[in-house]
Amino acid sequence: MRRLALAVLLLAAGSAQAEWSAAELFAMIAKDRPGRATFHERKFIALLDRPVESTGELTFTPPDRLEKRTITPRPERVTVDAERVTLERAGKRHSLGLRENPGVAVLVESIRATLAGDLEALTRAYSVALDGTPARWRLTLRPLDPAASQLVERIHIGGEKARVRTVEILLADGDRSVMSVTPVAP
C-alpha cells in the first residue's frame, strides 16, 4: 500500500525533478521533526470587511500530537491527539472525533502529517504535489474525500529544508487563511 502510494507520488511529482521527491522531503522532515513554533494567522472571510488575525504557539509532540495554543485575540487551545480534536475555550471543553468531522480532519491532518513527516498519512487524505527545491519548497494538497473537498479546495504548505514556514488554506467558498510559522529554538 505504502509502496504503491509512493510510486504514484513519484510518477505525479517526480518527472520534472527526478532528484527531488516528496518521499525525500518527508524523510528529511521525519529526521528533524520540529518541536515548537509561533504562528501568526490571518483569515479572509467574505462576510467580514477585513481579515481576522490570531497569534499563538504550535507544539508538535511525535508521533501524532499537535497543540495549537492561541494567545490573541482570545486564549484558546486546540489539541489533536490520534483521532480526537479537543477545543478549550472560555473555560469550556469540546471534543470531536476526526472521523465523523471530515471538514475538521482535513484541516488538521494536513499540518499534522506534514510536521510528523508522515507522507503515508498525507497521501491517504490528499493528492500531493511538490514543487521548488529542498531549500524552498511548496506542497499543494487537494482533499481526496468528496465531503472534505466540499469544504476545502486546496492547501499550500511552504517550507525551507525540514521546516514548515507557511500554511495557506483555500476554502471552497472562497474564504482563505494564511498562517506563517516561525520555529522556536528548543
Where along the sequence are the contacts to other proteins (CB under 8 A)?
41, 43, 45, 47-54, 68, 70, 73-74, 76, 78, 83-85, 87, 89, 92, 94, 97, 99-100, 103-104, 107-108, 151, 175
Cα–chain-centroid distance for residue 105?
10
3-state secondary structure at position 159: strand
- For residue 168, which amino acid is it? E
Residue reference for cell 490528499: 126
Residue with Cβ nearer other proteins (24 or 175): 175
Dump strand ranges (E) for 19-162.
36-44, 52-61, 65-72, 76-81, 84-89, 92-97, 126-133, 136-143, 152-160
Between strands 176-184 and 163-171, the pairing is antiparallel
Question: What grid cell was written down for 61?
Answer: 509532540
Nearest approach in angstroms of CB 160 to other proteins is 25
> To the nearest whole angstrom, how small is the minimum distance from the Cβ of residue 99 to other proteins?
4
Smallest gap from Cβ 159 to other proteins, in A, equals 21
- Which of residues 2 and 92 has its CB atom nearest to other proteins in the complex? 92
Quote the cell numbers at residue 86: 479537543
CB of 129 to other proteins, least distance (A): 24
In this complex, which beta carbon is closest to other proteins, that of residue 63 or of residue 174?
174
**Residue 104 vs 119, nearer CB to other proteins:** 104
